[in-house]
Structure 1
Amino acid sequence: MSSALSASPPTTRRRAPVVLLAACLSALLLPLSMTGASVALPSMGAELHASLASLQWAINGYNLAFGCFVLAAGSLADLVGRRRMFAIGTGLYAVGALVSALAGDILLLDIARTASGLGAAAALPSGSALLAQTFEGRSRARAFGVFGTTTGIGLALGPTVAGLLVGGFSWRAVFLVPAVIAFMVVALTPLIPESRNPAGGRVDKSGTLTFTGALLLLIYGLVEGPQAGWGSPLVLGAFLAAVALLLAFVVIERRQEHPMFDLSLLAQPQFLALCLTAVVVVFGFTPLLVALPTYFSAVDGLTAQQAGLTLIMLTGATLVFPAIAGFLTRWIPAKVQLVVTIVLMAAGAGWLTVIEPGSSHGAIFGPLLLLGIATGISFGLLDGAAVSSVPAGRAGMAAGMFNTMRLAGEAASIAVISSLLVSFTRGRLDGALGSFDTPYADDPARAANLLNQGDMGTLTQSVRPETARQAFTDMAGAAYTGALHTVLWVLFAMFLVAVPVVALLLRERRKPATGSSADVVPATAGPRTEQTQESSGVG
């Protein structure tokens, strides 16, 4: 990668610790905001009197902006300067987080969260590129190891940290604390040497706009579908427009000399298999970080702090198993481990259907641990495998595409699973509410929304007489639980279908090309190393 530094090499070496500190702090904050806000949703909804659809955009807006603009931001950083883009991105994230903490209505909160997602999209690839420019050889490998580990910590501990902040202070602390830390990172940026890539290409504006528009309309349709009805002209129009924009994106990218997405990479079976694996894994992990805290709050009456601590059973393994997966590649090839990962996902999703109102931690520990182990294995192998499955000269493009697909998959998975939960809950409540004296007897949609916001109390307090409230709570809890079970079986079926597809794609062999990398996923493919210096995604 051709680049130019405004600072001399000795100065760059002296400032290397500052670069590492700033990049790692951003790598901790950005994914923490992705997973942590889910624990605060019930408290946010209650205080701001928000509808379920508007509340979901506090999560979807951040993830959508993050996933859609991360590639374009990486290209722009090469042109205008990585330090400048890192400072702008971190500053925008900090301002968005501060406004989120002070927001008095849900619309402002959603807008601020989207702004934070844009900032995250600019900051993460810029920080990664600054590390690659500052460190060399083994030092670079160690720096990226710390960077990747910090990202994993942010993802894994986000719900727990958020639960502690909500329990100790309020939901506003979930945004205020990261804002303060982000402003501290901005204060460090003048000490970071500037760098840019003079040979960098232009930003693919048409590709960025069509891809972002397609994903935005898809998520909008999925969020609004349970509220307006899946046959609503608005929802159907959103889906049709999303398809049209996606087709336009494909046409644009195929005609670009330097596309944002080199779609020909998806014709390579192994790279396609790894992208599919990444999307499958996030469907089994990320939506549960959103769904389970609200379930625990609504059905079991857990506080945000208790729900966040409970989720350690799911997230804790993601801190340990990336390293274990890399170690096991000495005996078990990476491609075999990745297929096993999907099998473990299927087993965990099916097993988690043991969850019931009042389930003990011991009852759900096994399935949550299994899902966490599967996710941790994927974190340890997918990034390295993705960039190693394509010719060496296209590794940067492959890393960017792979991580963009994973981030877009996270946004889509939350919207899909949340919509299914609402729809299935509504179906189970329809007809059951009529036997109770409550204003929601003829409005199962509103009742389903409240349950999926974690607000059982509002429903229960509306029931007359008071002696019927316990029976109502049991009925509503059973309906929500049944909906969750159905969603888990849907995931189970999806994973079972994915296993043979991924296995067959990984067995494909390409004819060797001059200057290409290995034709199969290497057994030593491991977590983020110097290969991922162009990566712009979150583990």
Structure 2
Amino acid sequence: MNARALTLTAVLLSSLSFPLTITGASVALPGIQHDLDTSLTTAQWVVNGYNLCFAAFLAFGGSLADLLGKRRLFTAGVAVFFAGSVLCVLARDATVLNLARVLAGTGAAAATATGQSILAATFGGPARTRVFGALGAVLGVGLAFGPTISGLLVDALGWRAVFAVPAALAGVVLLVCPFLPALPGARRRIDWAGGTLFTAALALLIWAFVEAPALGASHPSVIAALLALVICGIAFVRVEKRGTDPMFDLGLLRDQRFVGYSLVAATMMGLLVPLLVYLPSYLIDVAGLDAGRAGLWMLMLTLPSVVLPPVGATVARRSPRLLSVGAVALGTAGMFTLTTVGPDSTPGSLLLPLLLIGAGVGATTGVIDGLAISSAPVRQAGTVAGLFNTGRLVTETVALALVGSTLATVSGGHLAGDGFTAALRVVATALGCFGAVSAVGVGLLLRRRDAGRPAA
């Protein structure tokens, strides 16, 4: 196997493990809450803690890749993810489990940002489009079959098994890493001040969203967190504008193509991931399904991610704007249709909304990544990939926290019965409105003639 094929295999295999651990945690939530005797708020940190670190460290990952070298950081990221996943399997209380998820999220972020920059640096021209299409297909497989596989694992072996499988995949990637070609960094300095302020601001935001339902919005600690968030946000912008080598190149935000494609990716994950996390729990606790059947029902949402990335790549070559606006519109229509969900829902009644959402996600998975990253010079690939994925993961993480907070508030803190149904319908309506606004924004950002050119 030549170096390019080996590189592609390692990156794709590692990329498969990350969506598996996200979907696995969502299916495992009821079992984790019961087995470890945790509250709803504590159990939500199993998902939120992972996503928080994933989003917060993506920018660090991109910058470190440019500074230290892509192979070195990719290997380190996979190793940290492996260690965190193994610790999840061994955890015997919620605190240890949440800390392990933080570790796994940090490693996944470093490997994700670095892996995409490795692909961008290794493959050019038409080959890059095909490679990112393959990346989308692999991510789609993880999203599509993750809930089903996780449900079957939970039924057969318990919730710990859903963390063991991603750990095994990461272990295989670690065996391949020494044989990857060395890709030198760009000798950039690391923006520690900007990265620290960004991470602190994001952590404060997520903490406030998750804890406010239990503490109350007027609780002194919630108010203090929000004030600290504003201070960190203002300081972050000042640091990034004045820095000679900032972690976030805010100049990229003047590029309408980059911002438009980033908004598409962020919106699709903001619509999809809250359903991946909370819909299985609804199907288990309200509709009365076991974990295995709930995972099978989730295929209606996730299976399009396997088959549609090549279709999305074909459409993108003709009109990136059509792909972008159309995908967001599909997801929005599906979310509004989901407002009819109830305890008597059947596969037939859920097919249309889940299929519409899944189609929007599947058509853009991987393809939008390639379009966004290709909008900048290859020498900045690590930083661009970090900023692009950070935007997507921040939206996903904030959406998860907001959805979790809304569910807890509307349902009275108990995700069961009519309260869960009412809360889920409120969430579907709110996410539909979010998608509609995003569709308009994407259309405006990509309306310029040169915004429609496909990436090389």
With the shorter chain as reference, the TM-score category is: over 0.9
Counterpart for residue 187 of structure 2: 200
CA contact (8 A) 1:210 1:245 kept: yes
Q: For residue 484 of structure 1, what is the amino acid of its counterpart? A: L
What's the CA shift for 1:363? 0.5
Which of 8, 11, 15 in structure 2 is aligned with 1:23? 11
Which of 190, 204, 214 in structure 1 is aligned with 2:178? 190
What's the CA shift for 1:84? 2.5
Which of 281, 286, 291 in structure 2 is aligned with 1:304? 291
Larger radius of gyration: 1
CA contact (8 A) 2:70 2:118 kept: yes
Q: Deviations over 1:484-515 (max 9, x none)?
A: 11111112222233333332232257xxxxxx
| Counterpart mapping for 1:14-93 below 5 A | 14-93=2-81
Are residues 1:521 and 2:452 paired? yes
What's the CA shift for 1:390? 5.8
CA change 1:39–1:25 in 2 (3 A) is same
Counterpart for residue 378 of structure 1: 364
Counterpart for residue 236 of structure 2: 249
CA contact (8 A) 1:321 1:380 kept: no
CA contact (8 A) 2:128 2:370 kept: no
For residues 35 and 425 of structure 2, the distance between their equivalents in structure 1, rounded to whole angstroms, comes to 29
Structure 1 range deviating more: 55-64 or 154-163 = 154-163
| Counterpart mapping for 1:439-458 below 5 A | 448-449=413-414, 451=415, 456=416
Which of 422, 443, 456 in structure 2 is aligned with 1:503? 443
What's the CA shift for 1:307? 1.3
CA change 1:81–1:261 in 2 (3 A) is closer
For residues 344 and 80 of structure 2, the distance between their equivalents in structure 1, rounded to whole angstroms, comes to 42
CA contact (8 A) 2:129 2:370 kept: no
For residues 87 and 391 of structure 1, the distance between their equivalents in structure 2, rounded to whole angstroms, comes to 24
What's the CA shift for 1:416? 0.8
Counterpart for residue 340 of structure 1: 326
CA change 1:100–1:51 in 2 (3 A) is same
CA change 1:235–1:75 in 2 (3 A) is same
CA change 1:360–1:267 in 2 (3 A) is same
Counterpart for residue 468 of structure 1: none
SS at match of 1:196: coil
Counterpart for residue 276 of structure 1: 263
| Counterpart mapping for 1:316-395 below 5 A | 316-329=303-316, 333-379=319-365, 381-387=367-373
CA contact (8 A) 1:325 1:380 kept: no
For residues 338 and 145 of structure 1, the distance between their equivalents in structure 2, rounded to whole angstroms, comes to 15
For residues 139 and 364 of structure 1, the distance between their equivalents in structure 2, rounded to whole angstroms, comes to 38
CA change 1:106–1:324 in 2 (3 A) is same
| Runs of at least 5 residues in structure 1 that lack an aligned partner in the other structure | 1-12, 427-447, 457-476, 510-518, 526-530, 532-539
SS at match of 1:422: helix
CA change 1:56–1:323 in 2 (3 A) is same
CA contact (8 A) 2:133 2:310 kept: no
What's the CA shift for 1:143? 4.5
Aligned-pair identity in percent equals 42
Q: For residue 490 of structure 1, what is the amino acid of its counterpart? A: A
Are residues 1:102 and 2:90 paired? yes
What's the CA shift for 1:254? 0.4
CA contact (8 A) 2:190 2:245 kept: no
Which of 301, 305, 309 in structure 2 is aligned with 1:314? 301
Structure 1 range deviating more: 389-398 or 333-342 = 389-398
| Runs of at least 5 residues in structure 2 that lack an aligned partner in the other structure | none
User: What is the RMSD computed on CA atoms of the aligned residues?
Assistant: 2.3
For residues 175 and 269 of structure 2, the distance between their equivalents in structure 1, rounded to whole angstroms, comes to 34
Structure 1 range deviating more: 484-493 or 178-187 = 178-187
What's the CA shift for 1:396? 5.6
What's the CA shift for 1:397? 4.1
| Counterpart mapping for 1:109-128 below 5 A | 109-128=97-116
What's the CA shift for 1:129? 4.1
Are residues 1:157 and 2:97 paired? no
SS at match of 1:193: coil
Q: For residue 503 of structure 1, what is the amino acid of its counterpart? A: G
Q: For residue 262 of structure 2, what is the amino acid of its counterpart? A: C
Are residues 1:481 and 2:443 paired? no
Structure 1 range deviating more: 69-78 or 239-248 = 69-78
CA contact (8 A) 1:389 1:521 kept: no
Q: For residue 500 of structure 1, what is the amino acid of its counterpart? A: V
SS at match of 2:365: helix
Q: Number of paired residues? A: 456
CA contact (8 A) 1:339 1:502 kept: yes
Q: For residue 486 of structure 1, what is the amino acid of its counterpart? A: V
CA change 1:397–1:184 in 2 (3 A) is closer
What's the CA shift for 1:37? 1.1
CA change 1:84–1:275 in 2 (3 A) is closer
SS at match of 2:446: helix
Are residues 1:215 and 2:202 paired? yes
What's the CA shift for 1:139? 5.7
Q: Deviations over 1:28-68 (max 9, x none)?
A: 11222123211110001100001111111111111111111
Q: Deviations over 1:429-451 (max 9, x none)?
A: xxxxxxxxxxxxxxxxxxx23x2
For residues 32 and 361 of structure 1, the distance between their equivalents in structure 2, rounded to whole angstroms, comes to 23
Structure 1 range deviating more: 152-161 or 405-414 = 152-161
What's the CA shift for 1:394? 6.0
SS at match of 2:451: coil
What's the CA shift for 1:142? 4.8
For residues 18 and 386 of structure 1, the distance between their equivalents in structure 2, rounded to whole angstroms, comes to 24
Counterpart for residue 288 of structure 1: 275
CA contact (8 A) 1:389 1:520 kept: no
SS at match of 1:257: coil
For residues 338 and 135 of structure 1, the distance between their equivalents in structure 2, rounded to whole angstroms, comes to 24
For residues 15 and 359 of structure 2, the distance between their equivalents in structure 1, rounded to whole angstroms, comes to 22
SS at match of 1:282: helix
CA change 1:380–1:105 in 2 (3 A) is closer
CA change 1:367–1:274 in 2 (3 A) is same
CA change 1:394–1:75 in 2 (3 A) is closer
CA change 1:258–1:244 in 2 (3 A) is same
Q: For residue 301 of structure 2, what is the amino acid of its counterpart? A: L
CA change 1:200–1:156 in 2 (3 A) is farther
